[in-house]
Amino acid sequence: MALKNKVQSIVVSGWRKNALLISSSRSINTYATGFDNRILKSPSLVSIDLPDVWNSSSINYSESSTRKFASEQTARVIDGKQIAEEIISKVAIEVTRMKKTIGEVPGLGVILVGDRKDSLTYVRNKIKACEEAGIKFKLTEFSDNCTEDEVCDAIMRFNADPSFHGILVQLPLPQHLNEGKILDVLKLEKDVDGFHAMNMGNLAMRGREPLFIPCTPKGCVELLMRYGVEIMGKKAVVIGRSNIVGLPASLLLQRHHATVTIVTALTPNPEEITREADILISGVGVPNMVRGSWVKPGAVVVDVGTYPIEDSSCCEQGYRLIGDVCYEEASRVASLITPVPGGVGPMTVAMLLCNTLESATRKYNFV
């Protein structure tokens, strides 16, 4: 398989001479504190960050249709759409109660940079859900070539406005913007996406409670719990280590006492590891990368991947989303599986509303 070969060639060269690590540790003296690299061999961490380049030769859009092969599958389908609707309706009831009781409603400020089709759809869905739930919503848009300061100023306006209890910066941001710098401007108590380093640290550390759990991993675990999937003591494998999906998902599963392995694009023979998983979560955005042969019989498969493909026939956006998992194959092996669309996606939106309501509840000490 191309992925395997590619990864091994990268890794083997790494194994041979540790070339990459050493060279990068040498090359960053000017970036890292000078002393550190004179005394220690360890490089600065940013200097050894690598892009996760996943192979996508296995893309076969027709295979990824959740409709075409549904009748042949054996796995039970996790209906994220329906559960998300239930949750949103409960949030709506709670928002109404808050309005009646204290005359306030939760408010969510969203910042959107650029015109990525998928980002536009996500933001549209979030607006729609907020309207359903009675949550105040404000969208601030910027063009692709805006400056970091413009975005930070917008965040600070939301930080200062007491009628907004949650702030969300739709990711990914254009390359020229420093995501970390921008996210850390967010007031911690309004970081309903849970991407602030402080929230991530509190998610990771036992005995701590983050103010907000990132929406997508929170939605995944909520689905697992509602379908009676025990997590404690189970082998969970997370494919991908993005700051918004893979990392927080692995941390949250650990807090739930799973034995977690994180597979990256540099993992040789990832399928050998995923095949051991009782719970398999994939969030890399490579259509059909996870084949049936990657799945342990009876495993629970949660597909967080979303990849937009042109399809004028399917909906008004002119494209549809497909996942990381080759649904046709995996649904014949797994015991439970989330479809794309209609699985984790709607739950992410529902969790965003929950976090925004939670933030307002906390602020007003509303019980």
Which of the ranges 38-46, 160-168, 308-316, 334-342 carries the binding residues for its own copies, by CB under 8 A? 38-46
7 binds its own copies per the rule CB under 8 A: yes
193 is annotated as an active-site residue: yes
Q: Find the binding residues for its own copies in span 145-184 (CB under 8 A).
A: 179-180
Tell me the site size for its own copies, rule CB under 8 A.
85
Q: CB nearer to its own copies: give 103 or 207.
A: 207
CB of 182 to its own copies, least distance (A): 11
85 binds its own copies per the rule CB under 8 A: no
Q: CB nearer to its own copies: give 268 or 341.
A: 268
Q: CB nearer to its own copies: give 110 or 236.
A: 236
24 binds its own copies per the rule CB under 8 A: no
Those residues whose C-beta lies under 8 Å from the C-beta of residue 60, and which sit 6 or more positions away, are: 287, 288, 326
126 is annotated as an active-site residue: yes
Q: CB nearer to its own copies: give 115 or 209.
A: 209
Those residues whose C-beta lies under 8 Å from the C-beta of residue 334, and which sit 6 or more positions away, are: 75, 280, 295, 297, 298, 299, 300, 301
CB of 34 to its own copies, least distance (A): 5
Which of the ranges 150-158, 194-202, 307-315, 328-336 carries the binding residues for its own copies, by CB under 8 A? 194-202
367 binds its own copies per the rule CB under 8 A: yes
Contact 323, 75 (CB under 8 A): no
Active-site annotation holder among 170, 218, 278, 303: 170
- Residue 2: phi and psi, rounded to 5, are -60, -45
User: Exposure string (b/e) for 289-324, b if CB count within 10 Å is 16 or more?
Assistant: bbbbebbbeebbbbbbbbbbeeeeeeeebebbbbbb
Q: CB nearer to its own copies: give 221 or 321.
A: 221
275 binds its own copies per the rule CB under 8 A: no
Active-site annotation holder among 126, 190, 234, 296: 126
Active-site annotation holder among 79, 191, 193, 278: 193
Provide the token pair at 237. 């494998």
d(CA 219, CA 93): 20
Helix (H, G, I), strand (E, B) or coil at 4: helix
Residue owning tokens 């002119």: 318
- Residue 129: phi and psi, rounded to 5, are -65, -40
* Of 135, 143, 209, 140, residue with least CA distance to 168: 140
What's the Cα-to-Cα distance from 94 to each of 89, 131, 166, 226, rounded to whole Å?
9, 14, 16, 20
Helix (H, G, I), strand (E, B) or coil at 143: coil
Which of the ranges 46-54, 137-145, 285-293, 334-342 carries the binding residues for its own copies, by CB under 8 A? 46-54
Q: Find the binding residues for its own copies in span 199-218 (CB under 8 A).
A: 199-210, 213, 218
d(CA 242, CA 264): 10
- Choosing from 135, 221, 302, 326, the residue that interacts with its own copies (CB under 8 A) is 221
Residue owning tokens 């404000």: 138
Contact 315, 296 (CB under 8 A): no
Q: Find the binding residues for its own copies in span 240-259 (CB under 8 A).
A: 241-243, 247, 251-252, 254-257, 259
- Choosing from 62, 72, 228, 312, the residue that interacts with its own copies (CB under 8 A) is 228
DSSP E strands in the chain: the ranges are: 76-77, 107-113, 136-142, 166-169, 235-239, 259-263, 279-282, 300-303, 307-310, 319-322, 336-337
- Choosing from 21, 59, 120, 314, the residue that interacts with its own copies (CB under 8 A) is 21
Q: Find the binding residues for its own copies in span 340-359 (CB under 8 A).
A: 354, 357-358
Q: CB nearer to its own copies: give 37 or 306.
A: 37
Q: Find the binding residues for its own copies in span 126-145 (CB under 8 A).
A: none
d(CA 215, CA 228): 20
- Choosing from 3, 78, 129, 273, the residue that interacts with its own copies (CB under 8 A) is 273
Catalytic residues: 126, 170, 193
